[in-house]
Amino acid sequence: MGKSTGFMEYERKDGPVVAEKDRVKNFEEFHSQLPKHEQCLQAARCMDCGVPFCQAGVMISGMASGCPLNNLVPEINDLVYRGNFGEAYKRLSITHSFPEFTSRVCPALCEAACTCGLHKEPVSTKENERAVIEYAFSHDLVKEEAPKVRTGKKVAVVGSGPSGLAAAQLLNRRGHEVTVYERNDRVGGLLRYGIPNMKLDKRVIDRRVALMESAGIRFLTGVNIGKDVTAGELSKEYDSVILACGASNPRDIKAPGRDAKGIRFAVDFLSEVTKTLLDSDFEKIPYKLCEGKDVIVIGGGDTGNDCVGTSIRLGAKSVTQLEMMPQASEQRLATNPWPEWPKVLKTDYGQEEAIWKFGHDPRIYQTTVKEFVKDSKGNLKSVIIISLKPEKDKKTGRMNMVPVEGSEKELPAQLVLIAAGFLGSESYVTESFGVEVDGRTNVKTDAGKFATTKKGVYAVGDMHRGQSLVVWAISEGRACAKEVDMDLMGYTNL
């Protein structure tokens, strides 16, 4: 696949990125694409390796290796190398519902498992994918046609994030009548309100949703299932119900002073920023949220990084990011061999911008908040942080991060954003439908299946597997659609 000697002839080259000093002035996407002929040369680096771990999507040492969608990566790269972007799109669409999403926000599990990456830079599969899907959209190749024959079956999808959209897309293509319910005012779930616009332009979501609507999928926004409409009412109207509500229970920080004004959950903060921008057609920027404030972000993951980048754009005086775990190695350790997911240090766009803005990496590792300090009016004025150290639990043998006595420090803070992850599904939904949940409050199903303990009700995405990646959500949405179709029709051609 690709050019057999391409990996030796061409060095990896990524698309242009807008400099930090310019991109922090707005909320526009700042990654652009290479010219077509240069992207073809990047695809030429795909080395006909024989065992393409890039498309395997298997679990190795508890971590995913390769694409969970099993995209036909070498085939697609070969077509891109040959300049046949239209055929590359056809290949990509066999396994993928929304390449325009993952080519922007996925951490590229395919590239982490690329054989070329064992000794050199991996093939730029993520940018190749983006070039293919954007070519397809610009040449009117992306279609979503209404099925010629309807089955007479009705399916409700609760939640319009990537898993719900993927399930809805395939079930509609099959001929079922599909309605998607979304409690927010716009379709997209965390794609819409949990990911900042500079990372995923919301017009990209609107473009896809418009196609799905034209094919007959009905979207109802501002409807909160379990409150506005009961589970019983929904189950009575539809033959099957898919719960794709996400893992939207944020993990809190239980520390003295938690009731101080100025402490927010990260997704609530990011949602308010995006909603303000969208409602005003990007005319109004909510500087009041951060301007002139010392911001503390608790959590070192993608959402924490998004909070760093957003806070800088909103004029924060300083931004500090607290991470409980030790700093990762800059290179793979012997205990983390390829093709395992590389547990190495990643400096993302938000941290890059903080380094440019403040002159240092915003992250403080092995640290958490011990106390939130309030002023006389109950407003947050500072935080007491404390260092952590790994210590093995004598009973379980597990390593825990425990406080280091005497290591406390005080940092000024008028805004704290908690980005410490999510705990699972929200109880008002699961209780309304009467479905069982596991110890992590994920909806319980048989292994590899999506049917819940309630007949006719299915669970998918983060609500089913716990907080995860967009690519996993799409993969689960497609697999769930196949199971629902089988149960409805007795066979499936999905």
114-128 pLDDT, tens digit each: 999 988 999 999 999
Share of the chain above pLDDT 70, in %: 100
> pLDDT averaged over the chain?
96
311-347 pLDDT, tens digit each: 999 999 999 999 999 999 999 999 999 999 999 999 9
Is the separation of the CB atoms in 40 and 83 below 8 Å? Answer: yes
- Give residue 248's pLDDT: 87
265-274 pLDDT, tens digit each: 999 999 999 9
Query: Check: CATH 3.40.50.2300 for 6-138?
Result: no
Pairing outcome for strands 380-392 and 367-374: antiparallel
- Beta-strand ranges (E) seen in 46-162 are 58-60, 63-65, 154-158
CATH class entry, domain 263-418: alpha beta
Is the separation of the CB atoms in 260 and 374 below 8 Å? Answer: yes
Whether pLDDT at 209 is above 70 = yes
List, in sequence order, every residue forming a beta bridge with 389; answer none if it has no partner.
402
356-393 pLDDT, tens digit each: 999 999 999 999 999 999 999 999 999 999 999 999 98
**For the chain, how many residues are written?**
494
CA 156/CA 178 separation, integer angstroms: 6
CATH of range 154-248+423-489; options 3.50.50.60, 3.40.47.10, 3.40.50.2000, 3.40.1710.10: 3.50.50.60
The dihedrals phi and psi of 128, each to the nearest 5 degrees, come to -60, -45
- Give residue 23's pLDDT: 98
Is the separation of the CB atoms in 202 and 193 below 8 Å? Answer: no
CA 465/CA 458 separation, integer angstroms: 13
CA 475/CA 236 separation, integer angstroms: 28
21-49 pLDDT, tens digit each: 999 999 999 999 999 999 999 999 998 89
Residue 291, number of CB atoms within 10 A of its CB = 13
- Give residue 424's pLDDT: 87
DSSP 312-378: HHTT-SEEEEEESSPPPBSS--TTS-TTSPP-B----HHHHHHHHHHSS--EEESEEEEEEEE-TTS
Q: What is the dihedral of CA 198, 201, 202, 203, to 10 degrees?
A: 150
CA 181/CA 189 separation, integer angstroms: 11
Which H or E run includes 163?
A: helix 162-174
Structure tokens at 143: 């279609």
Q: Tell me which amino acid residue 429 is.
A: V
Whether pLDDT at 221 is above 90 = yes
Is the separation of the CB atoms in 229 and 223 below 8 Å? Answer: yes
* Domain 263-418 in the same topology as domain 154-248+423-489: yes
Structure tokens at 218: 């009905």
What percent of the residues of the chain are helix, what percent strand, and what percent coil, each to the nearest 5?
35, 20, 45
- Give residue 1's pLDDT: 62
- Give residue 278's pLDDT: 98
- Give residue 396's pLDDT: 87
Q: Hey, where are the domains in the chain?
A: 6-138, 154-248+423-489, 263-418
- Give residue 4's pLDDT: 85
CA 384/CA 374 separation, integer angstroms: 11
pLDDT-based confidence at residue 16 (cuts at 50, 70, 90): very high
